[in-house]
Structure 1
Amino acid sequence: MKTILTGAVALIALTAGAPALAQEADSKAGALLVAPLEVQNTQDLYFGTIAPSIDQADKVSVAPDGSRDCGPALTCLSADHTAAGFEVRGEEDATYTISLPKEIRITNGKGETMVISNVVGSKPSGQLLKGEDEFTVGGTLAVAARQAAGRYNGTFTVAVEYK
């Protein structure tokens, strides 16, 4: 009986001192990168040459399709008006959204300003078929009575973002 008890104590001592076997698992890591989204201006928003009224403010609009509507108190003298154009490039078949400013300020060389409001795009979002797409932007220019003569310029920013 003493031999059996000694053998059992020895067996317990051996198993109690042995470390447990650690369990391990492997995992993979990775990422999928898509082509960067890029936007480039291809055409400026331009309202053409306009003569203001001497006693009445009015508006002239250029639609995203490039058509122009000249208010009755204004005289639109040229037909060189254009909607702004933009080209977008990125991951093929991906969709994106377009963000436009609420208004644009343009200023002449003397610091006098006019405001373009109702800034609207040809679409709110797009799809990059074959990795490319395009859109246009128009707006409405407010012209004051006796608005100062001169070339008015300004800039505006559009933003595109993957959906």
Structure 2
Amino acid sequence: MKVLNKVITFGAVSLAFASSSSVSLSADVTGNATAQIQTAVSVIENTTMNFGNTAVDASGGTVTMTSSGAVSGPAGYSFSGSPTAGAFTVTADASTAVTISFTDGTLTGPGTAMALNNFTHNAGGTPTTDGSGSLVFNVGGDMVVNATQASGAYSGTYTVTVNY
């Protein structure tokens, strides 16, 4: 009976020690959190992209406008009028890097619709707003003229997206 009492006593002491030791192994710590709220980005179009007057041949081709407003195209095409690159102003947080991206567009008119694509801008490889939160940049791109494109006035849209 003495052996049995020692085993029961030892078991009870072990159980009490085990339950009290698990409580002493816990700890609390206070976590920290931060946030940076940024001003919503706004973009406005200052100048509409205008390819000017383009005289084309029957074969079709791609007319390219640079972000400085210069146009060029296939041999046999001629250009006149006053072509202008698109111009945009971004308003956002001061001295903050942004990304600029484009969604292709379409020009519609009296003939088959023409694609607008391959956009470029002159805001540099890492566009950044200035100290007042402003960024002004120009946009060029390609106008894809279809074979036997009907003459006449065409207009359309494309999307410029600016993100932090």
TM-score of the alignment, normalized to the shorter chain, above 0.5: yes
Match of 1:86 in 2: 88
Gaps of 5+ in 2: 1-27
Residue 48 of structure 1 is aligned with which of 40, 46, 52? 52
CA contact (8 A) 1:57 1:145 kept: yes
Match of 2:156 in 1: 154
Cα deviation for residue 119 of structure 1 reads 1.7
User: TM-score when scaled to structure 1?
Assistant: 0.71
Match of 1:119 in 2: 119
CA contact (8 A) 1:64 1:120 kept: yes
Change (3 A) 1:132 1:45: same
Match of 1:34 in 2: 38
Q: Partner amino acid for 1:63? A: T
SS at match of 1:86: strand
Deviation digits for residues 88-107 of structure 1, max 9, x if unmatched?
11111111111112x32110
User: TM-score when scaled to structure 2?
Assistant: 0.71
Using the alignment, how far apart are the partners of 2:112 and 2:61 within structure 1? 17
Match of 1:66 in 2: 69
Deviation digits for residues 66-86 of structure 1, max 9, x if unmatched?
1121322212132x1111111
Match of 1:106 in 2: 107
Using the alignment, how far apart are the partners of 2:83 and 2:61 within structure 1? 17
Change (3 A) 1:60 1:25: closer
Residue 98 of structure 2 is aligned with which of 82, 96, 111? 96
Using the alignment, how far apart are the partners of 1:127 and 1:29 within structure 2? 27
CA contact (8 A) 1:60 1:69 kept: yes
SS at match of 2:155: coil
Q: Which runs of 4+ in 1 moved over 6 A?
A: 24-30
Residue 138 of structure 1 is aligned with which of 137, 140, 156? 140
Deviation digits for residues 37-57 of structure 1, max 9, x if unmatched?
11111111111011221x322
Gaps of 5+ in 1: 1-23
Deviates more, 1:151-160 or 1:24-33: 24-33
CA contact (8 A) 1:56 1:73 kept: no
Change (3 A) 1:48 1:32: same
CA contact (8 A) 2:111 2:149 kept: no
Supply the RMSD in Å over aligned alpha carbons. Answer: 2.4
